[in-house]
Amino acid sequence: MNPYELITKIKGKMKDPNFAARFNNAANVVNNIPGLQQEIIRIAQINDPKAQDAAIEKLPREAKQAVQEILSLLNM
């Protein structure tokens, strides 16, 4: 998924208040960790689930939880 598709998907799902609340909570964590936004975009673009999981495992614990939440929300 390229960055444009990712943004379009998020915008469409933000109409759901439950999704929006969960996404915004995870996004706040992401915004407080320098460089993590770019890393999430890179991870979201990985098509191989094993490689994606390996990239997530390299993140700090708090960042890992936020990334997993965002990815699970996007895969809903």
Tell me the pLDDT of the chain (76 aa) as tens digits. 677 888 898 899 999 999 999 999 998 988 898 888 888 788 878 889 899 889 989 998 988 898 889 888 888 6
Which pLDDT does position 1 carry in this prediction? 65
Q: pLDDT value at position 7?
A: 86
- The CA–CA distances, whole Å, from 66 to 31, 41, 54 equal 10, 13, 15
Using the structure block, give the residue that is written with the tokens 């770019």.
38
- Tell whether pTM > 0.85: no
